[in-house]
A and B are shown apart, each in its own frame.
Chain A
Amino acid sequence: MPAVRGDGMRGLAVFISDIRNCKSKEAEVKRINKELANIRSKFKGDKTLDGYQKKKYVCKLLFIFLLGHDIDFGHMEAVNLLSSNKYTEKQIGYLFISVLVNTNSDLIKLIVQSIKNDLSSRNPVHVNLALQCIANIGSKEMADAFGTDIPKLLVSGETMDVVKQSAALCLLRLFRTTTEIIPGGEWTSRIIHLLNDQHMGVVTAASSLIEALVKKNPDEYKGCVSLAVSRLSRIVTASYTDLQDYTYYFVPAPWLSVKLLRLLQHYPPPEDPGVRGRLNECLDTILNKAQEPPKSKKVQHSNAKNAVLFEAISIIIHSDSEPNLLVRGCNQLGQFLSHRETNLRYLALETMCLLATSEFSHEAVKKHQETVINALKTERDVSVRQRAVDLLYAMCDRTNAEEIVQEMLNYLESADYSIREEMVLKVAILAEKYAQDYTWYVDVILNLIRIAGDYVSEEVWYRVIQIVVNREDVQGYAAKTVFEALQAPACHENMVKVGGYILGEFGNLIAGDSRSSPSIQFQLLHSKYHLCSPGTRALLLTTYIKFINLFPEIKGQIQEILKADSNLRSSDAELQQRASEYLHLSVVTSADVLATVLEEMPPFTEKESSILAVLKKKSGRMSAQEAQKEARQQSKEGVSASATLNNTEKTPNAKVNVSADLLGLSTPPSNQNNTQSNTGVLVDVLGDLYGGGTATQNGTSGITTTNSLSSNSLTSSATNNIKKFVCKNNGVLFENDIIQIGIKSEYRQNLGRIGVFYGNKTSMPLQAFSSSVSMDFQQQSKVIIQVKPVESTIDAGAQVQQMVNVECIDDFEGLPDLIVNFTYGNVPQRLSLQLPLSINKFFEPTDMNGESFFARWKNLSGPQQECQRIFKGSTMESANIKTKLIGFGMQLLEGIDPNPENFVCAGILHTKTQQIGCLLRLEPNRQAQMFRLTIRASRDTTSKNLCNILSEQF
């Protein structure tokens, strides 16, 4: 047991030793339970504990918590410690509160007073303790309680430096919770002027705060630009001895430098030529210093120096206006590409991706192509290789596309599984984007399927089909190539899908060659049939019926196959249905009718490439780059973004701006809808062709019912009412022949109780019944869902109830999934539904008069705060609309809008972290059967979220 320092608690040290000596997990748990029992009895006992004992026990609880055990008592004792007049007890009390108290605990009310006392203490150590605690908890309550004290503390001349530092960062933390906490007005300039403070520590802390404020409101704080530049200039030109303890391994104030450079990236290059010149001088000096021999061999020196350098390059890229600096930055990064430090290679590759998007440095980046390709082959760290892939993708243009795509294909054969899917998408996008010759494009995609078939997602092979269908000049080649590819003894199922589709459409183009006669084509495809999944078989059946139209001479051969028991009596309902319908079609219809029904597919409508959207969705990291590109695109008008494949070819001479992205890369990511509609086209068409409207195809609004073995009839009559629940709380959620699921729910403030009723409609019990509710990962911290268990058997005709308690923490999107599993007559059933828990359930209606409505409306005028939708409505009945709006949860305010046809509403969304004020205006246009919906909310994103939910209701 090492020596315990200072005022150490012996009892604690002994306990920790005991735990460490435990030989097994069980022994540890036993020891902990014993200790918990001991502490509980001490806390409950009549003997009053002295401060030291309380401190010791609280500390033990803390230790137990940190071992990963839950602690559900001791909070009151910790709160008591806060007001102890012994510092060491106070400090432990604060530590316990900081680590264990959730932002929303009721305890917060109890500690506010103690914190207030310490905040006004004359001892800076106490004040700091209080500030650190506020920053640690950082909740709305804290912001409310201390929102006025802390800004005062920050700018007052009497506050000591150490306190100012904590106050600045404490304020920053509260600002992240509640943006209103920053007073504005004359405070703005006082906060900005902290950048001039004598004390480097104060400036460092303040620059973090100011950076956050600037991000939110650049205009109000633009006075900070010149101050930041001059401060930076002073640091950059300082010798390392000038700044004493703020020099870190011979680098003057690296933290402050980085913060200032970061701050300046929120603004365009300064307009004042003096300031701008100063800034460029700084950047120049930083680049020069990078070339100087290191002042120390320590990695800390190199890290700190390069941290500043990377931030400088980052601002150079951001301003994108100094070609000289951009090229110098690029050369510097080029040196790092072969540095022995893995970290530097990693960062150089990452930063170069951004440089590749600038027209000034794109060519300079391309000089390093060979090194980057080499990195792909030799780097031992997959995350570095991943960066190399990103960079190749970014530096790719028309001149080097073939080479880069080829290298990426080579690498793909041995690439790590973790990055294959993304690589496949990237290769597919590059091939599509830079194809001058579409035969090359077809070859690349088929190679992708050959090399990494498992990672070729639907979007990729849908896309190659879309392109082949749309481009007459490549159809013959595509048919020939897939035919050859299919001759490989083992070929990937995706190849069979693409081959099946393309031969079904264009097989006639190669049928003249006796080596690929209709009969040979058919036999080749059919040789794969039995190895494929039902989905692919279904596709092949459609190819076969298309063959009957294209090649009447093999009709008999195909009819035999359709008649085969394995198809006509297939256990798969879809296959069975297709086989029988196609067979019948081929028998009863005349050649004319057949030719009309099975005509060649019409061209697909060109939209954003569907795979691009998938890539965007897949990698959050990409979005930063895309955002950069997008910003750039907007600043340079002229290059229209969303040119489609068809016109890339028509405009071969158009200025190929390196940052122009012809596939509409610059469209905002919200276009994900396009993906759906795009791939939707294909699916729909196939769906129609395959006799759409069959039971399995009707995939009603968001519900999929898969019953692996049972016959179709069970699901055919399923109804799912999830949409209706946005504006009502009770009713039948889902019903089929077996089960009825009802919902009864009530909400108060940010809490809700949902009763889910499962009714067995059959005369047999439902067994192994279970249900689970889950929110997707990104949303799950925003709403806490507690599901009570449910009985595992539901008797014939019986109904059971399951309670779900919910607590809304933050504005969330989407609905939780509700998965219900059970067996019915030995057949497992799985219902994949959604729980009708949308954010609007936490509305509290707010009444107000016209004047205050309009005042608030005007207040919420930030561009993010408003969201507007125009959409077609199915109901224009006033009464209907009113019912829906009231059901939506807001207060319907009558007689406020000057136009009596319009509706306005107001409400407060209760979440645990904040209350969000929301205003709504709905303007119906009865002639056009259209609505315009405008929602304004005090919090960004909320208005959009609400608009999405409500606009689907009319």
Chain B
Amino acid sequence: MQFMLLFSRQGKLRLQKWYVAHPDKVKKKITRELITTILARKPKMSSFLEWKDLKIVYKRYASLYFCCAIEQDDNELLTLEVIHRYVELLDKYFGSVCELDIIFNFEKAYFMLDELLVGGEVCETSKKNVLKAIAAQDLLQEVSYGDSPYEI
């Protein structure tokens, strides 16, 4: 996988993860183009499209679009399920996840993605194991921050 983007129905980017190096300018250009293309598509259309020499796989969950760019010999259907697994993980962690959870806890969304995918490839497909890893991280946080100091 080359990159993953999460954006809202209004075209606001909520999360971006790049597995290949591009200058910021190019990233912004790609993002803009893809958001426009995908938002223009109708619901019954296929979840796949050709874009430059990449394949784009996307799926909409409530108000959020999840969009992945994969290479020619990657499997489209299974990429849809990578997205689904990620959504399931977010859902399990936040308890019926919504766009706001991802906005306010974007760092968590990133940490979770890092457990699922490393370097753009699937690292751990077991939901149980990913959640275990995240729980282990949270535990470390609890240890170092019994009570967080109050401040603005």
Contacts and interface: CB of A to CB of B under 8 A. Distances in A.
Interface string B64-89: 00000000110111101100110000
A128 B118 CA distance: 10
Contacts of B136: 125
A512 interface: no
Contact of A624 (B72, B118, B143): B72
B62 interface: no
A304 B84 CA distance: 11
A173 B19 CA distance: 9
B52 A7 contact: no
A208 B144 contact: no
A304 B78 contact: yes
A59 B107 CA distance: 8
Contact of A255 (B111, B122, B145): B122
Interface stretch (A339-347, A474-482, A525-533, A870-878): A339-347
A2 B120 contact: no
A307 interface: yes
Interface in A548-588: none
B45 A381 contact: yes
Contacts of B150: 10
Contacts of A85: 144
Contacts of A122: none
B104 A86 contact: no
B94 A5 contact: yes
B124 A303 contact: no
Interface in A70-108: 70, 85-88, 91-92, 95, 98-99, 102-103
Contacts of B129: 162, 201, 245
A103 B126 CA distance: 31
Contacts of A70: 24
B141 A162 contact: no
Interface in B89-142: 94, 98, 100-101, 103-108, 110-111, 114, 118-129, 133, 136-138, 140-142
B58 to A, nearest CB: 11
A300 B107 contact: no
Contacts of B16: 66
Contacts of B24: 70, 102
Contacts of B138: 6
Given A5-B94, A255-B125, A342 B44 contact: yes
Given A132-B114, A201-B124, A346 B78 contact: no
Contacts of B98: 2
Contacts of B133: 125, 128, 162
B148 interface: yes
A307 B79 CA distance: 9
A617 B83 CA distance: 32
Interface stretch (A164-172, A357-365, A654-662, A890-898): A164-172
B151 A201 contact: no
Interface in B44-61: 44-50, 52-53
B52 A620 contact: yes
A540 interface: no
A170 B45 contact: no
Interface string A151-188: 00000000000100110011011001000000000000
A253 B81 CA distance: 12
A273 interface: no
A165 B124 contact: yes
B152 A310 contact: no
A781 B123 CA distance: 28
Nearest to A174: B119
B152 A10 contact: yes
Nearest to B77: A307
Contact of A132 (B103, B118, B127): B118
Contact of B121 (A4, A131, A169, A809): A169
Interface stretch (A12-20, A29-37, A824-832): A12-20
Interface string A42-66: 0000000000110000010011001
B145 A380 contact: no
B123 A205 contact: yes
Given A68-B28, A169-B118, A343 B46 contact: yes
Contacts of B103: 16, 20
A240 interface: no
Given A62-B107, A258-B75, A300-B84, A138 B123 contact: no
A470 interface: no
Given A10-B150, A162-B133, A173-B19, A383 B50 contact: yes
Nearest to A209: B121
Contacts of A256: 125
Interface in B27-48: 28, 42, 44-48
Interface string A786-810: 0000000000000000000000010
A4 B104 CA distance: 7
A902 B79 CA distance: 54
Contacts of A176: 119
A248 interface: yes
A8 B107 CA distance: 10
Contacts of B42: 380-381
Contacts of B101: 2
A1 interface: yes
A811 interface: no
Contacts of A884: none
Interface centre among B98, B114, B151 (most CB of A within 10 A): B114
Contact of B81 (A20, A62, A307): A307
A242 B148 CA distance: 44
Given A4-B104, A11-B151, A346 B46 contact: yes
Interface string A699-732: 0000000000000000000000000000000000
B81 A343 contact: no
B77 A7 contact: no
Given A132-B114, A169-B123, A200-B126, A254 B21 contact: no
Interface string A380-393: 11011010000000
A621 B121 contact: no
A784 B53 contact: no
A16 B104 contact: yes
Given A68-B13, A246-B126, A343-B47, A131 B81 contact: no
Interface in A750-795: 780-781, 784
Given A254-B81, A784-B23, A208 B122 contact: yes
Contacts of A52: 145, 148-149
Contacts of B144: 85-88
B140 A138 contact: no
Contacts of A224: none
Contacts of A384: 45-46
A204 interface: yes
Contacts of A8: 105, 148
Contacts of A343: 46-48, 76-77, 80
A135 interface: yes
Nearest to A104: B21
Per CB-CB distance, the 10 closest pairs between chain A and chain B, nearest first, are A173-B119, A169-B118, A307-B77, A87-B140, A245-B126, A307-B78, A86-B144, A381-B45, A135-B119, A208-B121
16 contacts: A4-B105, A7-B142, A7-B148, A8-B148, A20-B103, A88-B140, A135-B118, A173-B118, A245-B128, A262-B73, A304-B77, A310-B77, A342-B46, A343-B76, A345-B46, A781-B23
Given A8-B105, A87-B143, 15 more contacts: A16-B104, A53-B151, A68-B13, A88-B145, A135-B118, A173-B19, A204-B125, A208-B121, A304-B78, A342-B47, A343-B46, A347-B76, A381-B44, A383-B45, A620-B53
Interface of A: 1-2, 4-11, 13-14, 16, 20, 52-53, 59, 62-63, 66, 68, 70, 85-88, 91-92, 95, 98-99, 102-103, 125, 128, 131-132, 135-136, 138-139, 162, 165-166, 169-170, 172-173, 176, 200-201, 204-205, 208, 245-246, 248, 253-256, 258, 262, 265, 300, 303-304, 306-307, 310-311, 342-343, 345-347, 380-381, 383-384, 386, 620-621, 624, 780-781, 784, 809, 913
